[in-house]
Structure 1
Amino acid sequence: MLKTVTLTLFLIFSLSITAQNSIIKGIVKNTDKNPIEGVTISYLNYGTTTNKKGEYKFSVPGDTKIKITFRHISYTILTKTITIPKNKTYNYSPILKPKVENIDEIIVKDNKKDAQGFIQINPADVIKIPGANNGVENILMTLAGVNNNNELSTQYNVRGGNFDENLVYVNGIEVYRPFLVRSGQQEGLSFVNPAMVQNIKFSAGGFQAKYGDKLSSVLDITYRTPEKFAVAMTGSLLGGSITVEGNMLHHKLSAILGVRYRNNSIFINSKDININSNPNFTDIQTFLSYEVNSKLKVDFLGNFSINNYNYTPITRRTKFGTISNPLELIVFYEGQEKDKFKTLFGALKGSYIVNKNLNLSLTTSTYQTIEEEYYDILASYNLGETNSDFGSSNFGDVAFSEGIGTQLNHARNNLDALIGNIEFKVTYKKDKFQLNLGIKYQKEDIKDRINEWEVIDSVGFSVRPPNHISNNQPYEPFTGEIVPFQSIKAQNSTIIDRLIWFAQYSKNSNWNNHKIWYNIGARSHNWNVYGDDIETSNQIIYSIRGQFAIKPDWEKEMLFRISGGMYNQPPFYRELRNRNGVVVPDVKTQKSIHIVLGNDYSFKLWKRPFKLTSEIYYKNLTNVNTYTVDNVRVRYSASNNATAYATGIDLRLNGEFVPGTESWISIGFLKTEENSDNRGYISRPTDQRFKFGMLFQDYVPNIPNIKMYLNLVFNTGVPGGSPSYTDPYNYQNRLNAYKRADIGISYVFTDAINQYQSGWLQKFKELAVGFEIYNMFDIQNSITNTWVRDVYSKQFYGIPNFMTSRVFNVKINMKL
């Protein structure tokens, strides 16, 4: 009876409300009188979209002044204010004007970036797209050729390179990252604050000579210069941020300040290790721009960050193996780890416009990092076969132990690095050509102390390194000294001086009716390595790079490009230090001959804009400094004893899969191998053969304020590494494929398009509330192997280190 009464009242209430409403309908067309599909028509939080015939229809309040908005990604926004009498139908069929741009401007500006091989990324997507590390790097992971199987890390490898082979610039200033970080969960925040970003450009290879000396990629970030006061805030279970911006002094000084805080506890506690942990990360960043006069402008970029990583493991249970041979590792821990990474960065840049053709700039920057890595962790482990008999009362328990022992890890590592530089650049533009010149001096002063060792004890017997004196325990007593299985102890004081210059000529022109763009440039890099107990080493390298692009005068929108040349990577401090912690000053530059063939094809599908980008690339590498990767820590051999190659193809299709939103699908095929000491080619640690990435945006058609963002990544497995003191040629097994899906759903109360003139929402320029699910399907992904040794069989077992499981997060974004 109660249900019947409730239902009746609900129907009466609904009918009374409906009776107060009116109907608006019509057909949306373009200037050619053709219907437009996928136009979003909205009023406050209600709306609909046009069908294939351009038709729409929805209910609005009667006798009320309302503002209807028509928007489509390819057309200008149209707003109509109307009042419809109650219970009436109003026919309105607007004509939307296309977003017209001057053809010459497209060639010179927009297509110029395509010709240079850059991918443009919308900064608004960076904040919206879900991911364990919400930032620019999270978007990069969806691109072909960009890989990382560690969702807690902001680092990435590109087309077979490692984490140290990527350039990152903010407003033309190169930025750096800490040295000692060895796991993704220690990283916290990347340098780039997404709330301060205006433009994002990314090149996965074949970049210009004006960019620095690295082997793989360039990420070029531009922070915005604010024009008016605004406050933006975000908050979630992971932390939050606040960004304040505005201008003052009669619009001469513009300032933007961002503060971020993050705590990774919900991710770390979701793993298969029971721990007590409180990793917290804080970042303060500012960008100031002062216009002295119409010709002189001074910019300042500053950053301070501190990462505190306190980690106390308790137990670990990891099940792995196969159905026929199930295994389990059980570990009990004692001890803890306490790490601290403190960085300070400041850069001052002056730009002077001599005349309309000539621009000069002088930039000086200083970066300092002080890092501490302290841990003492004792692990008692039991590795064994589990009982797979479903009918047994001990099903799932360890039935037979194949390895029992303990492992003690100790470290007292400190590093203090100070990097300072000064750079002078000249830009000369006239007609359709441009000349760029630059010279830079940089000094790096690094003081480093490494003291870490590992003792392994298996069933009561200390395991000695393979190169140590052998023994026949327990049958014969052994009287030799007890030594760690591995030990690194070194103290370095290293200074590196660098003098770098470049020159680059660029031009866009016409060839018959075809548009062409090209550049050619040269670089030189001279560096000195010296310090306490280090023999001075001086080296110099030169490189030439070029790009050529043509946009044929065809009916189809096509752009073809070829780029490449000589790419060198003079060793940074990390590459000079070998696996024993000793600095080798005469390590040579790693060299690569790189060629990239690319094509952009713009077309209409379902009467909506799409673009297919494809690139084929090949790298031939010499003087290769081989390395191992443990989580995100890279350790080099410092020997230049290998050659290598990387080849592959990257495809990216982006466009309006859903009307009014941009999504994309990326596919990449890669093969990279190295040959050490002429022993034959084996897979490099970053040999990720296949990559699929998708970023998908959608909304509810009748309620366009409900947005959905989906982030999908599938990477085939990389080599799982090898135990210490072993030959990597004998360990070429791969980890399982990396599969991950993150989803975010939010409700947008107001944004730049839908603004309220009254009520509590009028105070907000933007307001959105939603939730995110990371690793939606709760897939167990592994990043590396922990190697456990059985003293009797001398066999190593690779136990996968699983990444984060499914995690739920709530999030709020607002702008005042």
Structure 2
Amino acid sequence: MREIILLLKRYFTENKPTDPLRAKHLLTSTLFFILCHISFGQTATIKGIILNENNLPVEQVNIKHKNDGTTTNKNGFYSITVPANQDISLVFTHLSYKSIESSFHLKNGETYEFNPVMNSTIEQIATVVINSGLRKEVQGIVTLDPEAIRKIPGANAGVENLLLTLPGVSNNNELSTQYSVRGGNYDENLVYVNGIEVYRPFLIRSGQQEGLSFVNTDMVKNVDFSAGGFQAKYGDKLSSVLDITYKNPYQFEANVDASLLGASVSVENVSKDSKFSAIVGARYRDNSLLVDAKETETNYKPVFGDIQAYFTYKFTDKFHLSFLGNASLNKYSYEPETRQTNFGTLTEPMALLVFYDGQEKDQYQTLFGAFKGTYFANDDLTLHLIASTYHTQEQEHFDILAQYRLGEVNANIGDEDLGEVEYSEGIGSQLTHGRNDLDALITNIEHKGNFNIEEHHLEWSLKYTNEDIRDRLVEWESIDSAGFAIRPANKPANEQPYIPYTEPLEPYTNVRATNHTTINRFQAYGQWSKRGQLGPHEVWYNAGVRVHNWTVSGDGITSNTQTVFSPRGQFTIKPDWEKDMLFRVATGLYYQPPFYRELRDRFGVVQPEVKAQKSFHLVLGNDYSFKMWDRPFKLTTEAYYKKLTDVNPYTVENVRIRYRADNNAEAYAYGLDLRLNGEFVPGTESWFSFGYLKTEENIDDRGYIPRPTDQRLKFAALFQDYVPNVPSLKMYLNLVYNTGVPGGSPSYADPYDYQSRLPDYKRADLGIQYVVTDRNKQFDQGWRKVFKELSFGIEIFNIFDVQNSITNTWVRDVTNKRQIAIPNYLTPRVFNVRTTMKF
């Protein structure tokens, strides 16, 4: 564009028109030329595989748009670049098959997959209108671009990292992949990969122990997310659904991603007859770069690695069999040495000095495998059979002695003892011990189906689950303050040294339990949906119901059986207005039958009579699509209300949730979510999110207090940009601001006694990337020829070096016996280098 303007400037300088009429015509032509150039500069990509009625690839199919075109290769694959932000038509022709004409309307920079089937005997549909994204919008589902997931920087980059930029989704710990949605906790979110539910480890206590998320971003094809009011076909959880689809390869491709935090490699290919396809990914992660930057000096030796595979074989055009497998090994060795935390005010600076002895050794080994058979009975009926097994063996062993000294800090500038503790106000020690082991085997078998009857779409499922869990919990903590043992929190404090204490010494906390628990579950759902017209307006209906029956039994456990029914419904209308508006309403009763973690109370004892938590959802949504600066934008607004009963109260310590296993509370949550996304910079998608939430609970009729997830305000932004004169130099900015949640209270404290909030969470991550080659910048010779994509970059995590905290360490003042909360800070500013390659 710059070159065009310079040529026009030169032309006008050398050929100044003297005739006004000629000048007018010349100006009109010039403007028309520029507008045409701008219009054609906005492009999208359509790609896919073309098969025949026998599900075999069709070679040499001509795909044409006006004067542009391409043909399919021997595997039936094609890719074509088309104008964006306008209605365009593609014509698919072949001498042996009937022609297909399809219409599209895509956004700038969008890649859309279209896989038509060519038929030799039946007339093809004259026109198939594809408006990408509309199918998901009517269901209240947010679709995320997998390419954005792979590029956006974050201390724990991946799908969950991108979710945190959406309204209503929160997490105040960048080392964790867990997230809470609209007032729910980490256990209230469903995660599916290719329609198969996946699980996370049980014994994780802190973000730095977690390692890798189950989802391998290199293998992801599609990401759908619903923050509430979801359909009956999704499972029984209270908050959200993350639905991941892995790729079905159509050609050979290899991806490599490497940084100071680890590396990942994935390879995908398809057989010559296109019947067998495979994608395999391996990952390794090392959090040392982040943990070593924290205030605690440690010997930290993590090994987080996994390998995943997704295979598909097409036995016939009617029957396909796929396998999804995952093997993960997370080893965590942690030996803290010293720590100094400065806090207080400018006038009264304080410091906590801690000297450690001991270590922690954790290990999480998980194996997951799932077979999925799909039978295409005809064009209207599809049947699935899914069998999966998840096995996890986890251990958490630690003995750590922490000896602390709390006091005033020398703040005299120029003094040789500047920053040293001069006067001790607290001296003590803390000894923590743990020998926690867990072995869980979860087996599922499920039948699913869907059937189309004209405009009606029916879906159903029947599922059986067996959960066999063996668990040993041994965990105690002893606290000593100034030479005197502190009694448990539920007992009167001793008055030493003023009054002698003659009772036996007890640890401050002491949990011991051994459980062997079996849970058998039967689940089923049926739902109906229809797209139609209501006068001149387009409408979509959905109604369904789930049923869930479960039985808890085991060694020393009295068997208990319960059943719940969950009706749900959605309605969407797209008015025939000049403005592009869409309105949604979703409602239903959502139950969460207890998983093993929810059955275990704070003393480690399994309570089989725990009921399913129940929540009434009401979600009102609006999508407004418009153009600004001649580019597409969309404003999504959702207001929601939840009424919860039979609530199982819990406390959160870092990322570990401890339940009371007693449905003795009720709660509510309401809020407003806003998200504006569009091309703030031409050719890139960015968005800004805002969320307001209020959630409170009433435990034992003692009155309403904020829940641990009461994240009042949330602001986030994901911004992509590039240097106009150097478009290969790109920038990715990830901003998150969350107001503080209630937390940081002492272990097992009464929540009615501690209602202080953690500080606000503020974080900005920046990624700068130089693209050497990509699909728009290819080389026919030289060393760059072998790369489909190649980029190098630098990432800056927490660029403003904000001190965020997730928990508190509680120490005692010798003088007045008060407890002082010392914040445990998260990661400071950290630099990372990264390279990505695609072959």
- What TM-score, normalized to structure 1? 0.89
Structure-2 separation of matches of 1:548 and 1:742: 38
Would the aligned equivalents of 2:486 and 2:493 in 1 still touch at CA under 8 Å? no
* Distance verdict in 2 for CA 1:417–1:255, change over 3 Å: same
Alignment pair present for 1:626 and 2:628: no
Greater RCO, 1 or 2 (C-alpha within 8 Å, sep 6+): 1
Match of 2:687 among 648, 664, 669: 664
Read off the aligned partner of 1:531 and give its amino acid letter: G
Q: Which residue of 2 aligns with 1:730?
A: 753
Aligned to 1:455: 478
- Structure 1 residues 103 and 681, CA, compared in 2 at 3 Å: closer, same or farther? farther
CA contact (8 A) 1:39 1:659 kept: no
In structure 2, the partner of 1:698 is: 721
* Alignment correspondent of 1:268: 291
Which residue in 1 is equivalent to 2:51? Answer: none
Matched, 1:525 2:548: yes
Q: Deviations over 1:442-481 (max 9, x none)?
A: 0000000000100111111111114446544223433321
Identity %: 58
Q: Deviations over 1:576-623 (max 9, x none)?
A: 001111111100000000100000000000011000000000000011
Amino acid at match of 1:316: R
RMSD, aligned α-carbons: 2.4
The answer to whether the 8 A contact 2:637-2:675 is kept is: yes
Partner in structure 1 of residue 801 of structure 2: 778
Taking structure 1 as reference, are residues 527 and 30 closer, same or farther at Cα in structure 2, changes over 3 Å only?
farther
Structure 1 98/422 Cα, relative in aligned 2: closer, same or farther at 3 Å? closer
SS in 2 for 1:185: helix
- Match 1:349 to one of 372, 390, 395: 372
Aligned residue for 1:258, secondary structure, equals strand
Q: How does 1:301-700 map to 2 (within 5 A)?
A: 301-390=324-413, 394-468=417-491, 471-700=494-723
Q: Distance in 2 between matches of 1:699 and 1:448?
A: 52
Compute the displacement of 1:389 (Å): 4.4
Q: CA contact under 8 A between 2:515 and 2:605: conserved in structure 1?
A: yes
Distance apart, 1:402 and its partner CA: 2.3
| More displaced stretch, 378-387 vs 796-805 | 378-387
Judged with a 3 Å threshold, the aligned counterparts in structure 2 of structure 1 residues 539 and 105 are, in CA distance, closer, same or farther, namely farther
Show CA shifts across 1:384-438 (max 9, x none). Answer: 2323444755443323322210000000100000000100011001322200010
Query: CA contact under 8 A between 2:648 and 2:661: conserved in structure 1?
Result: yes
Confirm or deny that 1:741 pairs with 2:764: yes
Q: Is the 8 A contact 1:38 1:659 kept in 2?
A: no
For residues 307-343 of structure 1, what are the alpha-carbon distances to aligned partners after superposition, in whole Å with 9 as ceiling and x for unaligned? 0110000001111222333221110000010000000
Instruction: Look up the match of 2:143.
Output: 120
Distance in 2 separating the partners of 1:423 and 1:274: 49
Task: Give 5+ residue unaligned stretches, structure 2.
Answer: 10-28, 44-79, 89-103, 113-125
Residue 59 of structure 1: aligned partner: none
Q: Alignment length, in residue pairs?
A: 749
Range with bigger deviation, 572-581 or 458-467: 458-467
SS of the equivalent of 2:394 reads strand
Aligned to 2:168: 145
Is the deviation greater in 138-147 or in 752-761?
A: 752-761
* 8 Å Cα contact 1:690/1:715 also seen in 2: yes
The SS at the match of 1:138 is helix
- Is residue 42–residue 85 contact of structure 2 (8 Å, CA) maintained in 1? no
What is the match of residue 36 of structure 1? 38
Query: 1:787 and 2:810 equivalent?
Result: yes
2:218 is aligned with 1:195: yes
Q: CA deviation at 1:33?
A: 6.0
- Between 1:314-323 and 1:171-180, the stretch displaced more is 314-323
In 2 relative to 1, CA 477–28 (structure 1 residues): closer, same or farther, beyond 3 Å? farther
2:105, 2:134 → 1: CA distance?
19
Q: 2:232, 2:651 → 1: CA distance?
A: 29
Partner SS, residue 289 of structure 2: helix
Q: Distance in 2 between matches of 1:205 and 1:232?
A: 34
How far the C-alpha of 1:240 sits from its partner, in A, is 0.5
Deviation at 1:31, TM superposition (A): 11
SS of 2:466's equivalent? strand
Give the structure 1 partner of residue 18 of structure 2: none
**CA distance in structure 1 between the partners assigned to 2:646 and 2:33 by the alignment:** 60
Q: Name the CA distance, whole Å, in 2 between partners of 1:483 and 1:304.
A: 42
Distance 2:445 2:280 in 1: 24
Aligned counterpart for 2:156 among listed residues 125, 128, 133: 133
Which among 236, 241, 254 is matched to residue 213 of structure 1? Answer: 236
Residue number in structure 2 paired with 1:242: 265
Match for residue 10 of structure 1?
Answer: none
SS of aligned partner of 1:209 = coil
Equivalence for 2:788? 765
Q: Which residue of 1 aligns with 2:54?
A: none
- Structure 1 CA distance for aligned equivalents of residues 768 and 750 of structure 2: 48
Alpha-carbon deviation of 1:734?
A: 1.0
In structure 2, what is the Cα distance between the partners aligned to 1:612 and 1:313?
48
The reply to whether residue 74 of structure 1 matches residue 97 of structure 2 is no
Give the drift of 1:209.
0.5
Equivalent position to 1:756, from 779, 782, 788: 779
Check whether the contact 1:233–1:241 (CA below 8 A) recurs between aligned residues: yes
Q: Which runs of 5+ in 1 are unaligned?
A: 1-20, 42-68, 78-96
> Which letter maps to 1:356?
D
Instruction: List per-residue Cα deviations over 1:68-126 (Å, max 9, x = no partner).
Output: x999753799xxxxxxxxxxxxxxxxxxx97599997456x632210111011000011
d(CA) in 2 for partners of 1:567 and 1:336?
43
**After the TM superposition, which residues 32-71 of structure 1 pair with which residues of structure 2 at under 5 Å, given as runs?**
36=38, 39=41
Q: Are the aligned partners of 1:743 and 1:773 in contact in 2 as well (CA < 8 Å)?
A: yes
Offset at residue 724 of structure 1 (A): 2.8
Alignment of 1:174-189 (within 5 A): 174-189=197-212
The question of 1:158 aligning with 2:181 is answered: yes
Aligned to 2:833: 810
- 1:287 equivalent in alignment to 2:310: yes
Q: Is contact 1:238-1:262 (8 Å) kept?
A: yes
Residues 1:401 and 1:104: Cα distance change in structure 2 (over 3 Å): farther
Shifted more, 216-225 versus 244-253: the winner is: 244-253
| Helix, strand or coil at the partner of 2:283 | strand
Give the letter aligned to residue 230 of structure 2: F
**1:608–1:659 Cα contact (<8 Å) kept:** yes
Counterpart amino acid of 1:36?
A: I
**Closer, same or farther in 2 for the Cα pair 1:460/1:22, shift >3 Å?**
closer
773-782 or 322-331: bigger deviation: 322-331
* Residues 126 and 404 of structure 1, relative CA distance in 2, 3 Å threshold: same
1: CA distance, partners of 2:794 / 2:84:
26
With the length of structure 2 as denominator, give the TM-score of the two structures. Answer: 0.86
Q: Distance in 2 between matches of 1:312 and 1:38?
A: 60
Could you list the per-position Cα deviations for residues 665-692 of structure 1 after superposition, in whole angstroms to 9, with x for gaps in the alignment?
A: 0000111111101111111111111111
Q: Secondary structure at the match of 1:130?
A: coil
Letter in 2 for 1:491: T
Counterpart contact for 2:652–2:743, Cα < 8 Å: no
1:749 alignment partner, SS class:
strand
Alignment equivalent of 2:249, drawn from 220, 223, 226: 226
Distance 1:537 1:495, change over 3 A: same
Say if 2:224 and 2:244, in contact at 8 Å, map to a contact too. Answer: yes
